[in-house]
Structure 1
Amino acid sequence: MHRQIAGKLTGPITKWIVLVVVVIAAAGFGSFAGKLLDVQDNEISSWLPESAESTQAIERLDAFQDPNDMGTTVVYYNEDGLTEAQLAAIEEHAAEIDDIEGVTDVLTPARAQEAGIPMPYVSEDGQVAKLDFTINRGDEVWYEMPDVAEDIRELTETDGVEVYVAGAGGQTADQAAAFEGFEGRLLLITLLAVILILLVSYRSPILWFLPIVTAVMGLGISMGLLYFLAKYAGLTINGQTQFIMMVLVIGAGTDYALLLVARYREELRRHEDRHEAMAFALHRAAPAILASAATVVVGLLCLMFAELNSTAGLGPANAVAIAVTFVVMVTLLPALLVIFGRWVFWPFVPHFGTEEPTASGLWARVGSSIEKRPRIVWIGTALVLGALCLGVFRLDTSGVPADEIYAGDEVDSVVGQELLNEHELVDASTPVQVVVRADEADAVAEAMTGIDGLDAPLPPFIDGDVALVQASLQTDSVSDLSKDAVLEVRDRVHAVSDDAQVTGWTALTMDIEEASERDNKVIIPIVLVAVLLILIVLLRTLLAPLLLIGTVVLSFGAALGISGLVFDFIFGLNHVDPGFPLFAFVFLVALGIDYNIFLMTRVREETVNHGTRKGSLIALSSTGGVITSAGFVLAATFAMLATMPMTFALQIGTTIALGVLLDTMIVRSVLVTAINLDLGGRIWWPSRLDRPGASVDSSGGEPEREKVPALD
């Protein structure tokens, strides 16, 4: 059936129909792409594990606080000590901050003293003072906090004093500022990187334009469709999902384009009519592209089993985007290629009847070298990759400390928090909160007394039959001391009351880390099984898929190992988010297996006429260049994430880029090819594709070409 579809999509008339349909879809959906930001859900609930204690406690806090309330701390620092005039200026600032929309509960050193609040607002050495307030801007707080923080910096500017906006509000402002406007910059630098690689790969000043236009149209349609799904179907999309989607669609879409264009160029040398050449090319390449896209889609959909909402939400949105990209790439791109004709390859135009240059190129020579001693090659390669896996022990998955969240220059919230910690001032914006029945509040408050790293609890707040007990942490909310304090709070209050639930910034962080660890253990095996099943269906065999899965897992381990060394000894950022291994695994396995799919589908095709060993060499020489180009494209697109000022983006971009290059240059070209050459026809067990008695043409001639249905 796909042979018939391939013939119909690329006919002299239908190519124009395809072009018009896709352009209309791109114009329609693309007009809503810019609105995707409006339906993003960056509320804390869109990131949290639903079953976690801290998440459930937040739902009970509505009686005591608005969920959009955000504690913020302004930190004042003078190395020589704050003067009386400077302390007086802080009190004057409070009156101006009071007038900012959504601000309540402004506390300064003087106001805190008048209210009888026991915690200090000026350090003992007199170098640091703080001002606390709560801000509520509703659902727009994520987008508005950078502007609020900048306004506060301006009105608190004091001669001789360094001022930093910290606390939960400061962290939100810095994170939002890091993402603000970055979607456009990320898309631009990603496209520029891809264009450069395509220019080198195609050696044509024209051809690169068609894959780029097609990929951008696919991205526009995807974003427009996701806007409607988020607005009307309840699909959750946040900032993390959107920036990953941009690089994923451009990278994967360009990969599919490279494979199709390479096969089309081959067929142009065999067919005088370009429509017929594209029909054969699409018929041959589409199954591999479909399998590749299906692997990514299924891998992403497996994320729906995640307990962490931010992880579970990322999967469906990106799966939709990849599915749309696949459809656009196998419809619009073939139509554009046959519309433009052979000249689009200028100056290296593939004329009918000319020799295929890949038969004697670099990868043909690599294959010949491996052919001499394939067993030694694959065993040696596997041992080297295994040794690289040891670098994973340099990774610390306990979470990223506050001072490492941002790559590069330190930001206000980090510097301010460090000053508070160094000068033993409590950050009241991130207290430990316990929700409990009102009749058990006093017992819970007593149980929270005397815990290291925790101030004495405030008197319980009571609303009907529910009470809130809270106490301030004495150090950074994500420090080991704070986490230990929360663990002890949970142990103590659970012993007092079965109804007590502990939440707060630290508790949320701990529950997210626990959910991430659980997701790693559950989802990684699910993804492996799903990808294995796709390979079994595609290759119609069992041993080859098992070996391919093994090589990808080995490649993943080596990529993590190299990353551990790079993060530690080059970046100085060896702490990673607990969810980092899962993200890296899903993208590396789903994307890395693509190159094995591209290679092995060609091996299977050539095996029918040449046998496995010769078919493997033909496949390597034919696909080597295009797969290498595809690997560089995908690595470059994900490497662009490293330009973001967030450590997580730097780390995930670096790891995926390294892993993709490893898959492209070593695993696919050396390891898999060597295994194929060593095992020969046994690779297809239990299939008899290349076994005694199977029908195989060993003459070495060109594979017989099927007849494609008549073109329009």
Structure 2
Amino acid sequence: MVAVWVLLLLAVFPLAAGLGDVQSDDATDQLPGGAESTLVHQIEDRVPGSEDDELIVVYHRDGGLADGDKQAVARQHAALAKEFKVDMPPVPSEDGTALMYAVGQPASGNDAGVAKFVERVRGVTADRPSGLQAEVTGPAAIGADVDAVFEGIDTTLMLVTVIVVAFLLIITYRSPFLWLVPLLTVGAAAYLSMALVRVVAGALDLTVSTQSSSIMIVMVFGAGTDYALLIVARYREQLRHHRDVHAAMRAALKSVGPAILASGSTVALGLGCLFVADMNDISGIGVFGALGILATLVTMLTLFPAVLTALGRKVFWPRVPALASTAPAGRDWWRWVFARPMRSAGASALALGLLGLGVLGLSTDLREADSFTNTPESVTGFATLDRAYPGEGGRPFTVATPTDQVTRVLAVARATDKVVSAETEREGNGWSLVDVVPAAQPDSDAEAAVIKRLRADLPPGALVGGEGAERVDVQEASAADTKLMIPLVLAVVLLVLFLLLRSLVASLLVGAVVVLSWLAALGLGSLLFEHVLGFGGVEPTLPVLGFVFLVAFGVDYAIFLVSRIAEDRKELGTTVATRRAVRATAPVIASAGLVLAATFAVLASLPFVPMVEMGVVVAVGVLLQTLLVAPALLAPMMVGLRRWIWWPSRAADDPQPAAVPDEPVLVGEKRS
């Protein structure tokens, strides 16, 4: 098996290394597929010269510009005009504190060309008199600053994730060798998933965004390490009962394999539901995330057991499990939960509900200007323009219209409230592009209102695009995706749970507690983002992506716990089986949750607010699920509802089991 995997990894290495060939962060790769702004991008590709990269250079000095400042601006304006398209002279502000002009070049067609253009213009404007400020902004500058955030992110994220996972595994296993086995095996799963994404993206003509590939890698490492922890825990148990390591591994996989297969399948199916999302980037995350989880499942159920078995018992050194030995007795940390199970469950549910109240103040209105943890020059430049030239123009829109109705479009646009100007930019192939400049500040409610008025008033066939329109389309599509995805994913997860547990009550209970934990994580995240980190809202796609991740992975941990209960309940009864399952699985589930939370928390180290928010919400949600929901809410609910929990199974009301020596009965409690 190991040899087969070595050959497989050698074969897929070129595919994994070529993932960058299908990776792109163009606007159309993230926008809703049928949105007006997406259609405008497609029309612009058909109009010659319409895709110019444009920058705005703004100079300013508090107290007013000096003669030397104006001379320096004139020199730089002339220097840039020799290299680029500069059609306008420097325009002074009314208060005399600023000068601005536009710089353009033919579209480079790639991120590297835009970055080089922005770097060159910023290099020219860097040589200026002391005290004179210069900022390069505009659509191309914002795009370059976003690209700079993601530059090298795959390598950085992979390295940081590996370090975090390695550190946690060393602490968990306290072995100089054992931690390497899951880490290297999960690395193999990551390479396999990257190769699968390369093949599927090429076959289906899908574009891989940096966000989707980054989240996929995090999920592979988190889920793979979780599965490794569960297999190792059960394998260690079986080594105390079997002399032969092969027999021990077979017994371990027979016990834990179905739960891992079911949980991984649930995650993959939940992510796969995202494929029908209107948002292109959410759809991509669903497809590629599902591929990553499937690759992880195959790897951890074949390669990982093979490597562990080949290395024998000594891989556990210095804590080698001896034959016929007993596991070290640990403290029963959750004993208090089962003294009064329904009271404990009620307290846990109340705590989660209170945290969930934070969603009442959730604002899915994160502006592009607030998307960076460190404000870049392109964002401060727009703020300078708004201060120095109030009401004289915001970020322009692009209206694409059939050429035969351009006169009517110009008239409607110029008559629209809060529109400063509307001019025909270019024509070709039966289409005309009109630049419409609003008075509103970028990403403001006033800008969105102008876009909606234009879309309502313009004649049929005219389409409003541009960055402001893209923001409106993303918000509307995200809201629609949330309404569609949440019930769809929940229905799929509940169906898988019912097929696995054969119990309607248990399936609904598991679904309810993971949804409650999602609300609690989102509510706590909202409070954290607004009152601690000072973010200006959350990314519109965060609620639906957070729901999918937390429900899918939350069901993961619930399956590990409930499947262990189901193993013993016919012999021991639900109460004793649940207590034993919590005692056996809680440390492993907690370790697995800590690893998964830590891997998602790596996203919070990136200087991009949407990634930080995703990392924080998922990490908080996973910790809540593993440290509170599974042992202190789900488990006591299983005990409290023990007479109905397995309905409609025939064994819903368990027979009275014989006493179990190592499981003391609480005073006044019957075994049931």
Q: Give your verdict on TM over 0.5.
A: yes
CA–CA separation in structure 2 for the residues paired with 1:608 and 1:95: 86
The reply on whether 1:254 has 2:225 as its aligned counterpart is yes
Match of 1:82 in 2: 65
Match of 1:478 in 2: 443
Letter in 2 for 1:82: L
Match of 2:350 in 1: 383
Match of 1:698 in 2: 658
Out of 372, 390, 396, the residue aligned to residue 339 of structure 2 is 372
Letter in 2 for 1:380: A
Match of 1:139 in 2: 109
Aligned-partner SS, 1:700: coil
Out of 418, 433, 458, the residue aligned to residue 468 of structure 1 is 433
**1:573–1:153: structure 2 CA closer, same or farther, 3 Å change rule?**
same
Whether the 8 Å contact between 1:454 and 1:485 is mirrored in structure 2 is: yes
Whether the 8 Å contact between 1:433 and 1:471 is mirrored in structure 2 is: yes
Out of 362, 372, 375, the residue aligned to residue 395 of structure 1 is 362
Aligned-partner SS, 1:599: helix
Match of 1:337 in 2: 308
Shift of 1:523: 0.7
Shift of 1:137: 4.6
Whether the 8 Å contact between 2:28 and 2:41 is mirrored in structure 1 is: no
User: Where does 1:166-315 land on structure 2 (aligned, <5 Å)?
Assistant: 166-315=137-286
CA–CA separation in structure 2 for the residues paired with 1:240 and 1:542: 37
Shift of 1:660: 0.3
The reply on whether 1:508 has 2:470 as its aligned counterpart is yes
The reply on whether 1:569 has 2:535 as its aligned counterpart is no
Match of 1:707 in 2: none
CA–CA separation in structure 1 for the residues paired with 2:164 and 2:261: 25
User: Where does 1:627-646 land on structure 2 (aligned, <5 Å)?
Assistant: 627-646=589-608
Letter in 1 for 2:614: I
**1:365–1:402: structure 2 CA closer, same or farther, 3 Å change rule?**
closer
**1:95–1:226: structure 2 CA closer, same or farther, 3 Å change rule?**
farther
Deviations 1:37-71 (A, max 9, x none): 22213222211112212222333334545564332
Out of 420, 435, 440, the residue aligned to residue 400 of structure 2 is 435
Whether the 8 Å contact between 1:385 and 1:555 is mirrored in structure 2 is: yes
Aligned-partner SS, 2:323: coil
Shift of 1:678: 0.9
Whether the 8 Å contact between 1:64 and 1:463 is mirrored in structure 2 is: yes
CA–CA separation in structure 1 for the residues paired with 2:234 and 2:87: 69
Aligned-partner SS, 2:560: helix
**1:373–1:230: structure 2 CA closer, same or farther, 3 Å change rule?**
same
Match of 2:291 in 1: 320
Q: How many residues align?
A: 661
Which stretches in structure 2 are left out of the alignment for 5+ residues?
Answer: 664-672
User: Where does 1:539-688 land on structure 2 (aligned, <5 Å)?
Assistant: 539-688=501-650
Whether the 8 Å contact between 1:426 and 1:472 is mirrored in structure 2 is: no
User: Where does 1:492-503 land on structure 2 (aligned, <5 Å)?
Assistant: 492-493=457-458, 497-503=459-465
Shift of 1:394: 2.5
Whether the 8 Å contact between 1:564 and 1:574 is mirrored in structure 2 is: no
Match of 1:422 in 2: 387
Letter in 2 for 1:413: S
**1:545–1:67: structure 2 CA closer, same or farther, 3 Å change rule?**
farther
Shift of 1:93: 2.8
Shift of 1:429: 9.0
Match of 2:409 in 1: 444
Question: Higher mean Cα deviation, 87-96 or 333-342?
Answer: 87-96
CA–CA separation in structure 1 for the residues paired with 2:53 and 2:475: 22
CA–CA separation in structure 1 for the residues paired with 2:428 and 2:245: 76
CA–CA separation in structure 2 for the residues paired with 1:654 and 1:589: 16
**1:365–1:645: structure 2 CA closer, same or farther, 3 Å change rule?**
closer
Shift of 1:450: 4.3
Letter in 1 for 2:65: L
Aligned-partner SS, 1:650: helix
Out of 326, 330, 334, the residue aligned to residue 361 of structure 1 is 330
Aligned-partner SS, 1:457: strand
Match of 1:49 in 2: 32
Deviations 1:327-347 (A, max 9, x none): 011111111111111111122
CA–CA separation in structure 2 for the residues paired with 1:608 and 1:468: 72
CA–CA separation in structure 2 for the residues paired with 1:178 and 1:683: 49
CA–CA separation in structure 1 for the residues paired with 2:423 and 2:139: 20
Deviations 1:523-560 (A, max 9, x none): 11000000111111111221101000000011111111
Shift of 1:427: 9.0
Letter in 2 for 1:194: V
Whether the 8 Å contact between 2:46 and 2:429 is mirrored in structure 1 is: no
Whether the 8 Å contact between 2:217 and 2:292 is mirrored in structure 1 is: no
Aligned-partner SS, 1:632: helix
The reply on whether 1:457 has 2:409 as its aligned counterpart is no
Shift of 1:462: 4.5
Shift of 1:671: 0.2
Question: Higher mean Cα deviation, 555-564 or 33-42?
Answer: 33-42
State the percentage of identical aligned residues: 36
Whether the 8 Å contact between 1:72 and 1:429 is mirrored in structure 2 is: no
**1:590–1:541: structure 2 CA closer, same or farther, 3 Å change rule?**
same
Shift of 1:218: 0.7
Whether the 8 Å contact between 1:167 and 1:429 is mirrored in structure 2 is: no
Shift of 1:199: 1.5
Alignment TM-score, normalising by the size of structure 1: 0.89
CA–CA separation in structure 2 for the residues paired with 1:503 and 1:626: 51
Letter in 1 for 2:298: V
Letter in 2 for 1:109: P
Shift of 1:73: 1.6
CA–CA separation in structure 1 for the residues paired with 2:152 and 2:174: 33
Aligned-partner SS, 1:330: helix
Shift of 1:500: 2.0
**1:254–1:136: structure 2 CA closer, same or farther, 3 Å change rule?**
farther
Structure 1 vs Structure 2 CA RMSD:
2.2
**1:470–1:228: structure 2 CA closer, same or farther, 3 Å change rule?**
same
Whether the 8 Å contact between 1:108 and 1:131 is mirrored in structure 2 is: yes
Whether the 8 Å contact between 1:170 and 1:413 is mirrored in structure 2 is: yes
Deviations 1:167-198 (A, max 9, x none): 11111111000010121111111111111111
Aligned-partner SS, 1:683: coil
Whether the 8 Å contact between 1:81 and 1:127 is mirrored in structure 2 is: yes
Question: Higher mean Cα deviation, 303-312 or 439-448?
Answer: 439-448
Aligned-partner SS, 2:414: coil
Deviations 1:361-396 (A, max 9, x none): 23x341x21121001111121122111111112221
Whether the 8 Å contact between 1:108 and 1:130 is mirrored in structure 2 is: no
Whether the 8 Å contact between 2:393 and 2:420 is mirrored in structure 1 is: no
Letter in 1 for 2:330: G
Aligned-partner SS, 2:196: helix
**1:180–1:99: structure 2 CA closer, same or farther, 3 Å change rule?**
farther
Whether the 8 Å contact between 1:70 and 1:429 is mirrored in structure 2 is: no
Whether the 8 Å contact between 1:613 and 1:677 is mirrored in structure 2 is: yes
Alignment TM-score, normalising by the size of structure 2: 0.94
Match of 1:5 in 2: none
Out of 3, 10, 22, the residue aligned to residue 39 of structure 1 is 22
Letter in 1 for 2:13: G
Whether the 8 Å contact between 2:44 and 2:50 is mirrored in structure 1 is: yes
Whether the 8 Å contact between 1:478 and 1:509 is mirrored in structure 2 is: yes
Match of 1:151 in 2: 120
The reply on whether 1:413 has 2:378 as its aligned counterpart is yes
Shift of 1:688: 2.2
